[in-house]
Amino acid sequence: MSKKNVFVRRLVIVLFIVILSLMVVGGRLFTDIEEDNSVSEEEDRIVVGVSQLGSESGWRTANTESVQNAFTQQNGYFMIFQNARQKQENQIKTIRSFISQRVDYIVFSPVVETGWETVLQEAKEAGIPVILMDRNVNIRDRSLYVTCVGSDFVEEGERAGRWLEKDLKKRGMNEGQVNIVVLKGTEGSTAQIGRTIGFSTVASDHLNWNILEQEYADFTSAKGREVMETFLKKYPDIDVVVSQNDDMTFGAIEAIKESGQTVGIGGDITIISFDAVHDALEMVAKGIINVDIECNPNQGEYLSQVIDMLEDGQEVEQQYYVEENVFTIENVTRELLEERNY
């Protein structure tokens, strides 16, 4: 072999070794950087365990989306989300698993108001702040949760009653007997309790308001339809339906139409609904639903603001109410329908 050839061979070998070691070291360095990053990202993020009560309605779907959009990675959160499918026992299990995972915050929408003492005591002992969303709990020890972000359901019920007062007056029906049926939401839930109290308070001022019956229909369309069918068979002369959410209203309207009666403005039966989801507002605009008392599901931002305040060591209030409106054919605009994405 010539000297030149030997030199070229050695050079190739040296270059080969250099490239190989660069690849190994470089690769390691690269991985190390990545790993370090991911570890510190995890550590910096706020871990929030969210127990959503179910997926019974359009409102609930919007509420879930709002929470998921607020507790994102980009916003600095690591969210663990669980759907309890309307069962309190599932929510209790989920909260216990959040405690054992040592999350930073527990956010949950209690399906009913009672029966939370034990599990909330456990969260308190573990030092994990609990924030209620949407619905409330009924417990003696107020220190078991930090705050609640939700709606003023009693006010919503009163708004329904006050709207009916005005409407009956406008139609000159404020003296004769007015037959009312009420489709109530999930038994024992804050939304059901508050809306019932609010409406009943206004109703008790009017001797001619005759509440024929109030029945639970679980906030679902199928149940709303079923309960409405029984009401229609029992009572031939219903003037007003108060339905505590839009999903039950959709079912009830189908049942009424099938019975041969008409609904809405100028119809046989006046429809009062709650939530104001897009499809219901379309029906308000067409005069099928007379009034829809808005319930605002966009609570995610409020919840993350509360967490920011707690992280800053600031005091938070016991209750935050979201803003809500009342919709009739007069104020449901095209813009509103376009904007309403739930």
Binding positions for ligand GYE, rule: CB under 6 A? 56-57, 59-60, 134-135, 151, 191, 219, 245, 274-275, 295
Torsion of CA 29, 30, 36, 37, to 10 degrees: 150
Least distance (Å) from ligand GYE to the CB of residue 56?
5
Least distance (Å) from ligand GYE to the CB of residue 146?
20
| C-beta of 95 vs 280, nearer to ligand GYE | 280
Least distance (Å) from ligand GYE to the CB of residue 294?
10
| C-beta of 144 vs 322, nearer to ligand GYE | 322
Question: Could you tell me which of 216, 66, 246 has the C-alpha nearest to residue 149?
Answer: 66
| C-beta of 56 vs 239, nearer to ligand GYE | 56
What is each CA distance from 173 to 19, 187, 238, in whole angstroms? Answer: 92, 32, 14
Half-sphere exposure of 213 (CA within 13 A, CB side): 15
Question: Could you tell me which of 133, 157, 129 has the C-alpha nearest to residue 62?
Answer: 133
Least distance (Å) from ligand GYE to the CB of residue 235?
25
| C-beta of 46 vs 159, nearer to ligand GYE | 159
Least distance (Å) from ligand GYE to the CB of residue 274?
6
* 80-101 as b/e: b if 16+ CB within 10 A: bebbbebebebbbebbeebbee
Which segments of the chain does DSSP mark as H helices, in order? 3-44, 58-70, 88-100, 117-125, 153-170, 190-203, 221-234, 246-258, 278-285, 300-311, 334-339
Do the Cβ atoms of 294 and 153 come closer than 8 Å? Answer: no
Least distance (Å) from ligand GYE to the CB of residue 86?
9
The span from the CA of 1 to the CA of 22, in Å, is 30
Least distance (Å) from ligand GYE to the CB of residue 66?
12
Q: Which two tokens stand for residue 147?
A: 């705050």
| C-beta of 103 vs 277, nearer to ligand GYE | 277
